[in-house]
Amino acid sequence: MRGRLVVLMTVSGLLSGCATMSPEQCMVADWYRLGEQDARQGRTPDYLAERAGACQEAGYEADTEAWYSGFSEGLAAFCTLDNGFRFGLEGGRYLRTCPPGWDADFEEGYAMGRGIYDLEQRVAQGQRELDSVDDRIEDELYKESPDPDRIQELRRQRERLERGLREDEVELATARGVAIGRGFNVQ
């Protein structure tokens, strides 16, 4: 019984954390600033419905006009070449929020930044796989009766992984160099 109570409390805590805005936030909301913030985070205009719904449940009305004004202002800051690069480099998921005329620059920067992010993830995954194989080799070597065939197989696997990892690292270094050459901050 006690276990079920803990589970119920955990689930209810998680569900309450899903609300877009708390009643307290709704009561003092600066809807212009929220709209601007939402645009700068790459959210779509649909996010207003989530905010408004949460506040309506708490008995507060959303100022949609102020939110849209802020959202338009935020889009102007979000939909730039440099911000697209930064957003992609951080692994952001672009939801096609930039209007025509602004989208081309943003998407160009985003593609370059996201390409670097994806390569960094691939390199990190390759390193984890290589470390795992190293651990398995070590485990096999320290067994009471090491299996030479298994060790040889693991060493071949390690060579393949290491070769792939080095290729990915070269590709990542090249992508970073191109971005730096274009004037982007890769840090």
In this prediction, what percent of the chain has a pLDDT beyond 70?
A: 90
Q: Is the pLDDT of residue 79 over 90?
A: yes
Contacts of 170 (CB under 8 A, 6+ apart): none
**Structure tokens that stand for 18 in this block:** 């899903």
Mean pLDDT across 7-27: 57
Q: What is the pLDDT of residue 187?
A: 80
- Cα distance between residue 153 and residue 86, in whole Å: 42
Contacts of 177 (CB under 8 A, 6+ apart): none
What are the extents of the domains in the chain?
1-78, 79-187
pLDDT digits (tens, 9 = 90+) for 132-186: 999 999 999 999 999 999 999 999 999 999 999 999 999 999 999 999 999 999 9
Mean pLDDT across 30-57: 95
**Residue whose pair of structure tokens reads 């690292």 in the numeric block:** 169
Q: What is the pLDDT of residue 19?
A: 57
Mean pLDDT across 42-58: 93
Q: What is the pLDDT of residue 3?
A: 40
CB 84 within 8 A of CB 106: yes
- Cα distance between residue 26 and residue 19, in whole Å: 11
Q: What is the pLDDT of residue 20?
A: 83
pLDDT digits (tens, 9 = 90+) for 97-142: 999 999 999 999 999 999 999 999 999 999 999 999 999 999 999 9
Q: How confident is the model at residue 96 (pLDDT cuts 50, 70, 90)?
A: very high
- Cα distance between residue 101 and residue 76, in whole Å: 11
The mean predicted confidence, pLDDT, of the chain is: 89
Q: What is the pLDDT of residue 2?
A: 38
